[in-house]
Structure 1
Amino acid sequence: MSRFAGRRAIVTGAAGGIGAAVVARLLSEGAAVAALDRDEPALERLAAAPSLHRVAGDLRTPETARAAVAKAVGLLGGPAEIVVSAAGVYALSPAAKVEAQDWDFNQDINLKAPFFVAQAAVAARAAGAAAAAQPMAIVNIASVGAYRSGTGDAALSYSASKGGLVALTRSMAAEWAPQGIRVNVVSPGVIDTAMVRIMDDPDAGSAWLEARVPMGRLGRPDEIAAVVCFLASDEASYVTGAELIADGGYMCR
């Protein structure tokens, strides 16, 4: 397949499990990809490809997010038609012990960064008439944690950031649709990445999955990448402001 031949993409959190899977899928379907992550050694471990451009940077402030996007646009040779915000953190603290730095860490990466990355990418697109005439797709990665804290983790700040991202996506979609920009969000369930610690105790983890996830297993990063790439593709040309939940049925119970 070559759904993205000739297209330029920016992926944040590109060295993480879901981000790396999105990068691999986009590359396999013909896109040129700027892979953004603050973990430079992990970025270097991404499989080399002629159309892969690594950008090391921290997205915690608007200034650093804009600088990272500017570097990505330069390496790609033009504005991105696809932006995927997969960067995310999972900082936990019980409600009674949450401090400002705990709260801000989740909000800065999970909620604020996707907006300022998208804002910078949209501005770069608008700077040229040819680029502004092309359709653009933005896909944010939220979580079923936006709706439910079901693993016993003290994840209220994380959940708030992901709930905010769902609402933010709808607002971005409504405002930018007249410019030919679609914005959607994917909410994964429990996915087999380094962030998910449910299988640290295999017996307890398996019992939880059997009880709470109808499909009875963790999701794979490549399964989320497939959903993201559908929303980024022309196959979803009339889809904007939507949330696609990919959770093995977790929200059904």
Structure 2
Amino acid sequence: MSGFSGRRAIVTGAAGGIGSAVIAALTNAGVTVAGLDLDTPALSETERSLGIKMHKITVDLSSVDDTRRAVGAACESLGGSADVIVNAAGVYELAPALKVEQSDWDLNQNINLRSSFFVAQTAIACRSDDSVPMSIVNVSSTGALRSGTGDAALSYGASKAGLLGLTISMATEWADRNVRANCVIPGVIDTSMVRIMDDPAAGQAWLDQRVPMKRLGRPEEVAKVVCFLASDDASYVTGASLVVDGGYLCA
């Protein structure tokens, strides 16, 4: 991938499986990264386990004010505005449709959808030079496009579907600011959010039936697609969504 050396990035969900894999890939490509997460100890553990250095910023993405503060602090820590924004933060609050409460709905929408907008908006407001390209990559989910996985994930799926539409609007609205916006759509990825392997036999049976590649995806496999979309190799790609799901949506 080209065009990464010397660039600056902000990654939310930095202590999570996909977020930390993205940070590792970007850092190894020469990008200086600010990692944002609510879990301060986990940020330090992520840095230690990956053997990298990042600017660690604690943030409550459910608060717009704190999100704006954290992005501003990240830009200051990085020594300038970010060239890459990766919205990888996500929550998975489950409840059957008839039992969804406002708190369930709000948590999914605020973290998975709303924060992605305000992170990007604030990062763009920090820019003083539009001649330098900026890339935004949002992390959605196959839950945006298919239900019926056995989880009570209506409000989660709605938030991730909203992220697809938000990405298209970002691409359209901010193209004249030299900003590209794209989205990745991961399937079942081996992170702490995926619980189907709590029962290994039942989990493998589900994978055999529903995923043509018959395995969980790895966070680093998603990270490679994120980095492609963020790189100059995708310089004419905007408003796109790339599926990383082992064929789940095909089956």
Which residue number in structure 1 is paired with residue 67 of structure 2?
65
Match of 1:103 among 102, 105, 117: 105
Residue 151 of structure 2: aligned partner: 153
Matched residue type, 2:59 = G
The residue correspondences of 1:40-119 to structure 2 (distance < 5 A) are 40-48=40-48, 51-119=53-121
- Map 1:130-169 to 2 at 5 A: 131-169=129-167
| 3-state SS of paired residue (1:118) | helix
Task: Render the CA deviation track for 1:113-140: whole Å, top value 9, x for unaligned.
Answer: 0000000001001xx2xx3210000000
Do the aligned partners of 1:2 and 1:30 also contact (CA within 8 Å) in 2? no
Task: Report whether the alignment pairs 1:32 with 2:32.
Answer: yes
Give CA deviations for 1:36-72 in whole Å, capped at 9, x if unaligned. 0001110011235675110011111221110010010
Q: Count how many residue pairs are aligned between Structure 1 and Structure 2.
A: 249
TM-score, with length taken from structure 2: 0.97
Q: Please give the residue correspondences for 1:178-217 in structure 2 after superposition, counting only pairs within 5 Å.
A: 178-217=176-215
* RMSD, aligned α-carbons: 1.2
Distance 1:223 1:154 in 2: 26
Q: Distance in 1 between matches of 2:203 and 2:132?
A: 45
**What is the distance in 2 between the residues matched to 1:212 and 1:85?**
27
* More moved, 2-11 vs 228-237: 2-11
* Amino acid aligned to 2:98: A
Q: Give, in whole Å, the separation in 2 of the partners of 1:150 and 1:220.
A: 22
Aligned to 2:124: 122
Stretch deviating more after TM superposition (70-79 or 42-51): 42-51
Contact 1:36 1:56 in 2 (8 A): yes
| Contact 1:2–1:28, Cα closer than 8 Å, also in 2 | no
Deviation digits for residues 208-241 of structure 1 (CA, Å, limit 9, x no counterpart): 0000100000000000000000000000000000
- Name the SS for the 2:33 alignment partner: strand
Structure-1 separation of matches of 2:212 and 2:17 = 23
Q: Secondary structure at the match of 1:107?
A: helix
SS at 1:157 equivalent? helix
Identity of aligned residues (%): 62
Match of 1:11 in 2: 11
Give ranges in structure 1 of 5+ residues lacking alignment.
Answer: none
DSSP-derived class of the 2:81 partner = coil
Q: Indicate conservation of the 8 Å contact 2:2/2:231, yes or no.
A: no
Q: TM-score, normalised by structure 1?
A: 0.96
Structure 1 residue 3 displacement after superposition: 4.1
Q: What runs of 5+ residues in structure 2 fail to find an aligned partner?
A: none
SS at match of 1:83: strand
CA deviation map 1:88-115 (0-9, x unaligned): 0000001111111110000000000000
Q: Distance in 1 between matches of 2:208 and 2:148?
A: 13
Aligned twin of 2:233: 235
CA distance in structure 1 between the aligned counterparts of 2:46 and 2:195, rounded to whole angstroms = 23
